Each structure stands twice: as structure tokens, then as C-alpha cells.
Chains A and B, each alone.
Chain A
Amino acid sequence: MTTPILELSGLGKSFGAVTAAQDQSWSLGAGEALGVIGPNGAGKTSMFNLVTGTLAPDAGRIRLEGQDITGWPAAKRCRAGLARSFQVPQPFSGMTIYENAYVAATQGAGLSGAEAEETCLDVLARTGLLKKANVLAGGLTLLERKRLELSRAMCARPKVLLLDEIAGGLTENECKSLIGTIQDLRATGISIVWIEHVVHALLAVVDRLIVIDFGRKIAEGEPRAIMASKEVREIYLGIEADA
């Protein structure tokens, strides 16, 4: 088997009595799309914080392309190919949408000049934000902020893209176009980890699913089989996978 592009082994983190991650181990193959589900407060976003380096683990290792990045600061991890979108959008409010994208293209992907500009314009066209390119990010709606999160992460040209709940609140058509965008991204060879409550969007894209509860990975496998399993039905009682 080839080296996984991203690998977590025995990752643990607790805040006092609250366990955000406990002995979490999983890996992501190159070009693979992995879905992550779990109830609110299960530790999904904390897991992203650990992987991207905004939170330091108490135990365990994280490897990117076989290299141990556990002690690396967040910025270095981004430049090495890890980019994320934030569940609670974190725009650069005093900058325009285009400038937000430009930060990612120049700082995260290390692009400059025309290449940086074209990358930004191309990504914004794909995420549907191009028409608002000159609008200040501080004045956007929540939906637009979520799209900006996705756009910025894409402009950083990552090898692994971590998406944190970007489909919530979209209309049927918007959701379809988002799925199309992410499928296009996959076609370019990017590996994706996607945390999402909108299960049908997730199932349209991912190859594999893991389920997290109380900071632990409780199930992993083929998406439809996982959704049909007893553990998931127990957690998601009342929520149907309508795909």
C-alpha cells in the first residue's frame, strides 16, 4: 500500500474533563474523499483544529505525506499543503472577497503576479463569488461567507482540503452546484476531508465515511453501509439519509 497523504495515529486532546479527541486513528489516501459525521459537540471541528495546527494534541502523531508534522505551526502546515474552511467563517473583514482570495494564493500557495490573480479569479468564478469580487468581506451574508471560506481554502492550492460544514443552509440548486465544484476539485487530484451534516451532499462525493462521537472514531467504512449501521442510526435517530 502506498503512503497515505494524511495519517492520524492515536491522537488525543482533552480540555479538563471534556474529551475532544481520544485515541483517534485514521488515514486518507491520495485523491481520496473522506466524509466525517457525528453529533454536535462530538469533536469533529476539534479534530480539524488538531490536524491544521491551531490546537496542540496531548497525545498521538499527525503525518502529511509520511512526514511527521505534529509539532509544526499552522502556517507551515498550510504551506505544506493543508488548507481548511472554518465552520464559523473567519473572513478578513476589511478586505474585499478578491483580496481574501489573494491572501490565500500569495501566502498559502506562494503564488505571485499574474498566476496569483488568475488563480483567484478562476476559483471565485467556480464558487460563484466572482460578481461580488470587489465587495468587502465584512458585509457578506452567512452563505457568502461560507463560500468565501471554500474559495480561500481552494486558492491556497492544498494537497489536502479540509471542509467544515459548508453545505448547511444552501438551497437545492446551490447544493448541487457545490457538489459539482467539489467533484471538480477531486478530479484535479486533491484529497478531501469533509465534515458535513447535509448527508446527501456528503454521500454524493465521498468514498468513505467515519463517524465520531465523544472524540472517538466509532465507525468507519463504505458510506451507505455506515449510514445504515446500528450505531449511526442510534446517533442520528430521526435524521434520514435522503440520497
Chain B
Amino acid sequence: METKMTKSLSVARATRMSGIAMGLLAVIVIVMALAPYWAGRAELRLFGEIFLYMALASLWNLLAGYAGLVSVGQQAYVGFGGYMFFALAILWGVHPLAAIPLAGLLGALIAAPVAVLIFRLRGAYFAIGTWVMAEVFRLSFAQFSALGGGSGTSLPVDIVKSLADGRAAREAAAYWLALGVVVAVVGLVYAYLRSSRGVALTAIRDNELAAKSLGIDIWRAKFTVYVVTGGLTALVGALIFLQKLRISPDAAFSVNDWTAFVIFIVVIGGIGTLEGPILGTLVYFALRETLADLGSAYLIALGVLAILIMLKAPKGLWGLVRARSGAELFPLSRRVRGLDD
């Protein structure tokens, strides 16, 4: 009887809610794309920063939340991308718009041998290994005298000007690049997780023993994620330092700025979900903008909040939302339709 039943069944992914969410998201992206026409300079700068952090958080979430690669050294790629962007633009005269994707490509290329090396380490040792690697990067670039060594360098005016005419146009261009990158990164992570490889990755997230026993090459899946994440993180790094117009080893390879805050964002938002890093970024910036006047107490407040959320809601704020409502903005799950219930 049951075998007959399967004929009337179907498997669906999108729900009505996810359809509405996608429509809403498209509207938000369009409104944000028009921001240079309705927002002030300071807001534009803040929005750009939010987008870049959202991209970093989505990438770290893919790495740690799905592939189980808890890296505390992603600043290696942010800094590497920033430095490659400066090197390409200043030393080799590459147009900034071409230097940004090239920096990402170089980031992916350097991530491959790094992965081969640090994948020999497990768990906490892996995390420490990534940090050590980032320090190696920082110390190496401090020796890079063509780009100012330990004190760093600024992006020359003529290169900045080659991006667009006039300050307003340049700021709008940098903003659109940031918006484009966050849309591309979130879209890419989403498409990846929906694909067959994404199914494999989600299985690895839940149970490595069962995953490999069911035909999933765990090393290759993790390697792919590490290299892709490294490349895209380097690309985001290039954009970050295009906005800052100045780079130095300490700023480029800052563990606080590019990893600690990113981990905070993903943990409070909800690790291992697509929505978590997005929600986490918004919460983080809301806190930063309201508590920034508190000085160092602001960091203490962030820490306390992170601990509270880890204790009370280990799946983050999005986990709470989902547990209450079953909401899924980006439909990754597959639901069998047509069952009796």
C-alpha cells in the first residue's frame, strides 16, 4: 500500500514563506543599490562596512559551521587580499577594478598549499595552526619593503582617481562593489549549499563517520571549501582596504577585526545556518553604533552577550527564531509533500 503512496508524493524545497522572503530580499537589495542617491556619506560608509562584514561572516560560517573548519586565522586572507590588491595596483599598474578579482584569485591559490599543510592538524590544533599561519603572513608582509614594510603604505591618489571621477562617484563605486560582493558571496554560498556538494557538506557537518561511510570524500569537500573561502575572503579583503585607502601589516592581519568580531557575529546570529551570519551582522552593528561611546566597556558588553547567547541559545538568535516559527528564508531543506498528515 505504501509503495503505491509514493507515486503521489513530490519533493519540494521552496515554501510560500521563502518565496516571500526572496521577494523582500530583492526589494531590499534594490533599495540598498539606490543608497548613494538617498543616503549621506557617513551612512554609505557604514552600509559598505556592514556588507563587507556580512560577506566575511557568511564565509566564516561556511568554513566553520558547515565544513567544521574552525579557523581563527581568516585574517590571513583578508590581509593577503588587501596586500595583493595594493601590490597589483601600485607595483604592477593593474586597474583597481581588475586588481580586486585578481587578489581573490591569488588568495585561492595561496589557500591550496596552506590547506594541505594545516589539514594535517585536528580540532584545537587546527585552530591554532590557522592563527600561526596568519602570523606568518603578517610577519612576511612586514618585510615587504616595496609596500612600506612594517609601517605600511597608502593608495596613491592617481590610482584612487582611476576608479571614478570625483569623490562622490568614488565613494558610490566602493559602496556598490561592497554591495555586489555581499550579494555574490551570499548567493554563492546559498547555491553551493543547495548543490549536491552542499548536501555532502551538510552531512559532514552532522556526522563525519556516517558521511564517509556513505561515499563522501571528506578531505576533498573540506579542501574545496577552504580554498574557495580563502579566495573570497581575500577578495573581500581587497575591498576593505580599497575603502580604507591605507594598509599596514597590523591592520591587515588583525585577529580582532577580521576574525574575533566575525566569530562573534556568526555565533550570536546562529552558526551552521545561512540566515545566522546576516542577522548576526545586523545585531553586531546595531550594538556597535549604540554602545560605541562606552569605550572599552563596549567590548565587555559584547563578550557578555556572546557568552549569554552561547549558554541560553547555542544555535544563536536565528536558531531561536527558527525553533519558534520554523522559518527558513533561504530554503535548503527538502520536504516531502503529499504525506497523509
Contact = CB atoms under 8 A, between A and B. Distances in A.
Given A102-B334, A125-B3, A134-B335, A93 B206 contact: yes
Contact of A131 (B203, B207, B215, B341): B341
A25 interface: no
Given A94-B205, A98-B11, A133-B336, A75 B6 contact: no
A94 B272 contact: yes
B215 A91 contact: no
B9 A121 contact: yes
A112 interface: yes
A99 B207 contact: no
B164 interface: no
Contacts of A76: 217
Interface residues of B, number: 32
Contacts of A121: 6, 9, 11, 336
A122 B3 contact: yes
Contact of A103 (B5, B199, B340): B199
Interface string B207-226: 10111111111100000000
B2 A130 contact: yes
Nearest to B209: A90
Contacts of A93: 206-207
A191 interface: no
B296 interface: no
A134 B2 contact: no
Chain A interface extent, by class: 35 or more
A153 to B, nearest CB: 8
A83 B214 CA distance: 7
B206 to A, nearest CB: 4
B200 interface: yes
A78 interface: yes
A75 to B, nearest CB: 5
Nearest to B206: A92
Contacts of B202: 92, 94-95, 99, 103
Contacts of B336: 98, 121, 130, 133-134
Contacts of B6: 118, 121-122, 125, 130
Given A130-B2, A130-B339, A103 B209 contact: no
10 contacts: A75-B216, A79-B215, A91-B207, A92-B210, A94-B205, A95-B333, A96-B333, A98-B336, A108-B214, A125-B6
Interface of B: 2-3, 5-6, 9, 11, 196, 199-200, 202-203, 205-207, 209-218, 272, 333-336, 339-341
Interface of A: 52, 54, 73-76, 78-79, 83-84, 86, 90-96, 98-99, 102-104, 106-110, 112, 117-118, 121-122, 125-126, 128, 130-131, 133-134, 152, 156
